[in-house]
Structure 1
Amino acid sequence: MILVTGATGNVGHNLVRELINAGEKVRALTRDPATTALPDSVEIVPGDLTRPETLPAALKDVDRAFLFPVFGALDGFLTAAKEAGTRHIVLLSSAAVTFPQLGWIGEQHLACEQAVADSGMSWTFVRPSVFMANDLGWAHQVKHGGIVRGAYGGAAMAPVDERDIAAVAAHALLSPRPGKAYELTGPQALSQIERVRIIGETLGLSARFEEMPRNDVRRQLLDHMPPPAADFLLDQLAAAQAEPDSVLPTIEQVTGHPARTYAEWVAHHVADFGG
C-alpha cells in the first residue's frame, strides 16, 4: 500500500493517477474526504499532518509514502510511519535547498529533509524548481484585461509542470533508490514576459506583462504569505533576471519522456485561464 499525503494538491492528485495506472494500491490522506475528487479505486482516509493523532490509522499497512512538506509539522507523521512499519518516504522538497543562499524557503525545506533523513526510514527527495502551476495566480488578470503585473519581468526561470513532478515521484515510489535526490526543472528558461506572451498565444488573446516596483509587489504578497517568504521569492526573481536558471535533463532521464513545455502546460489549463 502506498499512502499519498497532499493528495488533492497540484502534485498529489497527478501522483495518485500515476500510481493507479501502474496498478498500485493507493490510499489518499485528506482533511475532507467528502469533497475529494479522486478515482474510485483510491482508498480515501481522513487525516491531517498537523494532527498526529489522525495518522496511525492512515498509515496501517503502508510500506511507502509520499510526504507533502508541511513546515514544522512532519515529526508526528514520521513517528507514526516508523511505528507502522513504513519502509520508504518520498519527500516533496525544493530546489531551494541547493541555493548558495538558502533564504527562508530553502531553510524550511532543508529542515523537512533533515527530519526525514533522521527518521531512520529510507528516503528519496524530489526537488523541483518553481512550479508552472504558480502562474495560475495570473488567471484573474489574464481574464480581466490581459495585463499581468509583477516585478522582475525579465527573470528567466525554468518552471516545471506538476505532472512531471508527479511522474518522478511515482518513479521514486515504484523503484525506490534510498538516499537519492532528484533535482527537476522544466525544459526552458523563460522570463515572466515570455510566459505571459505564451499564455496569450495559446489562448488566442492579447496578454502582456507590466512591470511594477518591487515594494508594491511585496505588499501584495504579504496578503497571503509571511514576510520572509515574500522576500525570498522576490530575491529569487532578481537573481534569475541577472542570470537565467539552468535547465536540467532529470525528468527525461527518469521518466523516459521529455519534460513538458510551458505551452503544453498552458494548453492543459486553458479552462483555468478562462479559455
Structure 2
Amino acid sequence: MTILVTGATGHVGRHVVAELLRAGESVRALTRRPDTAGLPAGAQVVQGDLERPGTLPDALAGVEKMFLFPVLEAAEEVVDLAVRAGVRRIVVLSSAAVTAGWDTEYHLPVERAVEASGLEWTHVRPGEFAVNSLYMWGPSIRADRTVVEPFPDRAGTPVHEWDIAEVVATALVEDGHVGTAHTLSGPRTLTAREQVAAIAEALGEQIRLDETTVDRARAFYHAQGGWAAANADFLLGYEDYSGVECVPDEDRSGVGSIADEDRSGVDHVPGEPSGEERTASRDAQGTITADAVTGRPPRPYTTWARDHAADFR
C-alpha cells in the first residue's frame, strides 16, 4: 500500500512523511522541487504541483491513501484524478475556522469536494499553528530580541505542527477516523506574553515585549515584509476572515490566526477556556488535543519553542 503525501515539504507534510515512515508505510512525497526537498530517507520523492493537476497522474499511480494539502482552485480536479487512480481514502488538512463557521470559501469547499467523491475521508482542522510565532516574531527576535505586540494578553491555544502531523498519520493508517472531522488545538491556552516568555526561555535570553498601538504594529509588520506583512491586516483586525475591511478594536484580547502558509486557522474556537491547562482530550465544543487520536501526550508550546530555538537565533 502506498500513501501519497502532498505538500510534503510543508510544516505538517514533512512530519506526516516522517510519521508514516516510522509506522512502516510506503510513502510517496509530492513536491515541486524534489532536488531541494530534504525529506527523510525512505520516502519516494516525486515532482508534482497541486496547482497544476496535469502533473499528478504519475504520482497517483498505485496510491491507496492520500494526505491532501488544500488548494481550493484545483481541489475538484485533484480529487477526480484521485478517484480515477483508485485512491481509497483522503485525509484533508483543513481548518478550525470551518468548525467555527468562519470559513466557507477556503477549506470548506475542499472538504466538500472530497466528501462528494464517495471516498473514505477524514478532515483534520487545526486552530492556531504555533509556528505562526516564528513567521510573525522571528525577524525582530533575530534582529534585536524584540516582539512588537498590540495585544499582549491575547489568548490562543497554539498547536505544534508535529501533533497535527501525528493526527493526520493516524487517520491515514487507522480505520476508526473515517467520516470524522477532528478540530485540533494545543494542550494549553496562552497569552502572547506567555508565548514570548517561552521563546525567551528556550533561547536563554531576554526578549523585550514592545506593547504598542494596533496602528503602529500594522505599520511595523507591513515594513517587515514577508508572511507578517501579508497577514498583518487580518491578524490585527483590519479585515475579517473573508478579507472584508474592518475597524480594529484596540481593547480586544483575541484575533484570528493563520495556519501554515495561508488563511487557514483560528486563534481558538469560541467558548474555549483561557489561561488554564486543558484537563480533557475533548472539550465541550468538540475541540480535541492530539492525544484523543494518537494516545500520546500533546506537545506544549514550551516544547515547540525549544524545538525551534535555533530558528530564532
Partner of 1:262: 301
Partner of 1:75: 76
Instruction: State whether residues 97 and 107 of structure 1, in contact with CA within 8 Å, keep that contact through their aligned partners in structure 2.
Output: no
Deviations 1:133-187 (A, max 9, x none): 1111212211222211133221111000000000000000001332111111111
Relative to structure 1, the CA distance from residue 12 to residue 224 in structure 2 (aligned partners, 3 Å threshold; closer, same or farther) is: same
The one-letter code of the counterpart of 2:146 is I
Q: More deviation in 199-208 or 164-173?
A: 199-208
TM-score for the superposition, normalised by structure 2: 0.79
Partner of 1:166: 165
The one-letter code of the counterpart of 1:231 is E
* Bigger fraction of residues in helix: 1
Given candidates 254, 264, 286, the residue that maps to 1:237 is: 254
Instruction: State whether residues 2 and 26 of structure 1, in contact with CA within 8 Å, keep that contact through their aligned partners in structure 2.
Output: yes
Given candidates 125, 128, 138, the residue that maps to 1:127 is: 125
Instruction: State whether residues 157 and 244 of structure 1, in contact with CA within 8 Å, keep that contact through their aligned partners in structure 2.
Output: no
SS at match of 2:74: coil
SS at match of 1:266: helix
Given candidates 215, 224, 231, the residue that maps to 2:230 is: 224
Structure 1 Cα separation of the partners of residues 294 and 36 of structure 2: 31
Given candidates 120, 130, 134, the residue that maps to 1:136 is: 134
Structure 2 Cα separation of the partners of residues 65 and 111 of structure 1: 18
Matching of residue 156 in structure 1 with residue 155 in structure 2: yes
Instruction: State whether residues 157 and 245 of structure 1, in contact with CA within 8 Å, keep that contact through their aligned partners in structure 2.
Output: no
Structure 1 Cα separation of the partners of residues 148 and 63 of structure 2: 45
Q: How does 1:1-275 map to 2 (within 5 A)?
A: 1-100=2-101, 102=102, 105=103, 107-137=105-135, 138-176=137-175, 177-218=177-218, 220=222, 223-225=229-231, 231-232=239-240, 237-238=254-255, 245-246=272-273, 247=278, 249=281, 250=288, 251-274=290-313
Q: More deviation in 201-210 or 15-24?
A: 201-210
Q: Give the CA RMSD over aligned residues.
A: 2.4
List runs of 5+ in structure 2 lacking aligned partners.
242-247, 257-266, 282-287
Relative to structure 1, the CA distance from residue 79 to residue 228 in structure 2 (aligned partners, 3 Å threshold; closer, same or farther) is: farther
Structure 1 Cα separation of the partners of residues 139 and 171 of structure 2: 35
Relative to structure 1, the CA distance from residue 255 to residue 40 in structure 2 (aligned partners, 3 Å threshold; closer, same or farther) is: same
Relative to structure 1, the CA distance from residue 59 to residue 273 in structure 2 (aligned partners, 3 Å threshold; closer, same or farther) is: same
Structure 2 Cα separation of the partners of residues 134 and 252 of structure 1: 22
Relative to structure 1, the CA distance from residue 227 to residue 262 in structure 2 (aligned partners, 3 Å threshold; closer, same or farther) is: closer
Number of residue pairs aligned between Structure 1 and Structure 2: 270
Deviations 1:82-141 (A, max 9, x none): 0001010000001111115x1xx5531112211211222110000111100111121221
Deviations 1:35-56 (A, max 9, x none): 1111221111110011011011
The one-letter code of the counterpart of 2:308 is H
Q: More deviation in 8-17 or 132-141?
A: 132-141
SS at match of 2:291: helix
SS at match of 1:210: strand
Deviations 1:44-85 (A, max 9, x none): 111001101101111000010000012322122101100001
Structure 2 Cα separation of the partners of residues 29 and 222 of structure 1: 27
Deviations 1:168-209 (A, max 9, x none): 000000013321111111111001111001111221111133
Structure 2 Cα separation of the partners of residues 222 and 169 of structure 1: 27
